Chains A and B, each alone.
Chain A
Amino acid sequence: MSRPFLSIRAVRKTFGAFVAVHDVTIDVPKGEFLTFLGPSGSGKSTTLYAIAGFQDPSSGDVLLEDKSLLSVPSHKRNIGMVFQRYTLFPHLSVAENVAFPLRVRRRPDTEVKRKVGDMLGLVRLEKFADRYPGALSGGQQQRVALARALAYDPPILLMDEPLSALDKKLRQEIQAEIRRIHRETGVTILYVTHDQEEALHLSDRIALFKEGRIEQIGTGEDLYLRPVSEFVAGFIGNSNFLSAEHLQTTAGAATVRLADGSIVTGVKATTPFGQGQKVRLMVRPEAFRLTPGPASAALAVEIVDTSFFGDRRRVVARTAGGDEIDVRPTSDAQATDSATTSGQRIFFDPASAFLFPA
């Protein structure tokens, strides 16, 4: 394996007795789009700030191409950053904002001019060059901030929830822009968000944070299809959790008893469970079928509500055990409308379900 471009090594940050970041270690290859995902307070920003140099880690190291960044002051790290808050310089025009990092680097005027033009072109705001930040929308301000952060060709771009202040539609629009810019510039991006859809949409890899640790790191598919814990399964995508009791595991296939007494066999078990141990069975909403298929397990439910969303149908069902479950059958199973009557059974492939300790 080639040496990592950016290496975060056992970074730890404590505030008094409180440990905000526990020995986080990540290697980031050049050009990767890595997202820190996690609930509020899980240490994403703190980790990012350690890379930016706003917060010195209590221990650990951050290496860029094998050289430690920690002894380099923030302004000499040559890192790009877009903040959650609007941070354009209010007294400078859009063009002067983008030019600022070049001017403090004393680049010649001709180069500054050309680069500002290129950058405003990149974020498609050429026409706004002479505007002042106060006369821009939130989305435009963040795009200018992006142009400013990229103007000096930083090797790494840090983004701390840059879109969280924007409404949903605008967010999606700028996500598409960010993807395009990542493709066009090839810059290595570390992106922070607590929106799992945004993370899945943008990233090559996602590091899922929980209470200052990385719970799991991998591609969106890894986290979605192979979650290592109930926390990951619950955070990425939609999930239904059913209480169950573990009976036995043979060759990685577990047999469990659900709350209503029915037995399900052939569930993937990645960790060993004891006999009689309380477990939670996780089934994705789209793994349910309304009609029985080959090798499917059945679940007796009462259909509470059915709604139609054009491309798919959403059914809310309640198990005998009282768990409410979300069912989004894929189109092949939508043929029957009989599912809307009560006293139904729904089906799922046990191999697509996950087992976690309760």
Chain B
Amino acid sequence: MLLDYDRLGWLRVALAGFTALVAAFLLLPVVFIVLLSFGSSRWLAFPPPGWTLKWYQQLLADPAWIDAALTSAKIAAMAAILAVAIGLFASFSLVRGEFRGRQVLRGLLLTPMVLPVVVFAIAIYAFFLRIGLAGTTIGFVIAHTILALPFAIIPITAALEGFDKSIEDAAIVCGASPLQARLRITLPSIRIGIFSAAIFAFLASWDEVVVAIFMASPTLQTLPVKIWGSLRADLSPVVAAASSLLVGLTLCLMIATALLRRKLSR
């Protein structure tokens, strides 16, 4: 191969350096935020003059923040459940179906991933305003379900493609109705894909900010929206603490996914 790592010679050093630089560029802001959230300076001075947990105390004592976090979790959970349910049906017809326009349908279902979010946000906001769903939880969930759908469809479709249809046929000759065969054999066999879909769909909604800003109302705010709003109002270390919690939960979910996948695939 042209780019065989073992034969790069001194370029290897350069490559390693470059990779480290990119990683640092991506990670450093997060690290700074986390460090600042524990710093005692009101003005986010770096390096922090001392260390404290008071920003976290303030955060957890403020019902507005707690409310935002709960709203986020609730919307993300509902969007994830809906996206997985719709994603399952969609994946079955995309993988198993034999109809014209299958590829077109697949493309259509994946567009939310490539469409500029702002465009999507404005469109759905205008639409929801007209039908009275703007600023409601239902509207929020619908918008986020659409955004999360590609993240659910991709892993489920992949799992279903890797699952031999003959196994389902075997369950049917064994006496299971086609529905029973799917519920008792196919779904458990692709559970890793379904599980990944749920996590990815949850995260897609959990840290989504653009659509959320349009959908939010003063009484309905998700965590990213609240962070965004607080940043513009006053730059307090409480925001850093909230951001750190957001990152922390995302990280936990990713790690949990990795561990569970490993356990399930054994």
Which residues of A does B touch, CB under 8 Å? 52-54, 73-81, 83, 85-91, 100-101, 104-105, 145, 148-149, 152
Residue contact B176 to A87, C-beta cutoff 8 Å: no
Residue of B167, B174, B176, B188 with highest tally of chain A CB at under 10 A: B174
Instruction: Find chain B residues with CB under 8 A from A77 CB.
Output: 173
Q: Is B180's CB within 8 Å of the partner chain A?
A: yes
Residue contact B173 to A85, C-beta cutoff 8 Å: no
Chain B 163-190, CB-CB to A under 8 Å as 1, else 0, gives 0101101111111111011001100110
Residue contact B173 to A52, C-beta cutoff 8 Å: yes
- The CA of A76 and the CA of B176, in the complex, are separated in Å by 8
- The CA of A79 and the CA of B172, in the complex, are separated in Å by 10
Find the B residue at minimum CB distance from A105.
Answer: B175
Q: Which residue in B166, B173, B188 is a CB contact (below 8 Å) of A75?
A: B173
Give A286 Cβ to nearest chain B Cβ, in Å. 40
Q: Which residue in B175, B185, B191 is a CB contact (below 8 Å) of A89?
A: B185
Instruction: Find chain B residues with CB under 8 A from A87 CB.
Output: 164, 166-167, 169-170
Residue contact A89 to B171, C-beta cutoff 8 Å: yes
Main secondary structure, interface of B, reads helix
Interface size class of B (residues with CB under 8 A): 20 to 34
The list of the 8 closest CB pairs from A to B, nearest first, reads A87-B170, A101-B174, A81-B173, A91-B188, A104-B175, A87-B167, A104-B176, A75-B172
Give B190 Cβ to nearest chain A Cβ, in Å. 10
Residue contact B189 to A100, C-beta cutoff 8 Å: no
Residue contact B170 to A78, C-beta cutoff 8 Å: no
Write 6 A-B pairs (CB below 8 A) sorted by A numbering.
A73-B177, A75-B173, A75-B176, A75-B177, A83-B166, A89-B185
Find the A residue at minimum CB distance from B186.
Answer: A89
Residue contact B169 to A75, C-beta cutoff 8 Å: no
Give B234 Cβ to nearest chain A Cβ, in Å. 53
- The CA of A75 and the CA of B178, in the complex, are separated in Å by 8
Give B241 Cβ to nearest chain A Cβ, in Å. 42
- The CA of A80 and the CA of B169, in the complex, are separated in Å by 12
- The CA of A66 and the CA of B164, in the complex, are separated in Å by 35
Give A129 Cβ to nearest chain B Cβ, in Å. 18
Give A200 Cβ to nearest chain B Cβ, in Å. 27
Q: Which residue in A53, A79, A85, A148 is a CB contact (below 8 Å) of B166?
A: A85
Q: In chain B between 188 and 210, which residues have their CB closer than 8 angstroms to a CB of chain A?
A: 188-189, 191
Residue contact A83 to B170, C-beta cutoff 8 Å: yes
Give B124 Cβ to nearest chain A Cβ, in Å. 39
Residue contact A74 to B166, C-beta cutoff 8 Å: no
Give B184 Cβ to nearest chain A Cβ, in Å. 8
Residue contact A89 to B173, C-beta cutoff 8 Å: no
Give B84 Cβ to nearest chain A Cβ, in Å. 18
- The CA of A104 and the CA of B177, in the complex, are separated in Å by 9
Instruction: Find chain B residues with CB under 8 A from A148 CB.
Output: 170, 174
Q: Which residue in B167, B173, B189 is a CB contact (below 8 Å) of A74?
A: B173
Instruction: Find chain B residues with CB under 8 A from A53 CB.
Output: 173
Q: Which residue in A54, A73, A76, A104 is a CB contact (below 8 Å) of B169?
A: A54
Instruction: Find chain B residues with CB under 8 A from A76 CB.
Output: 175
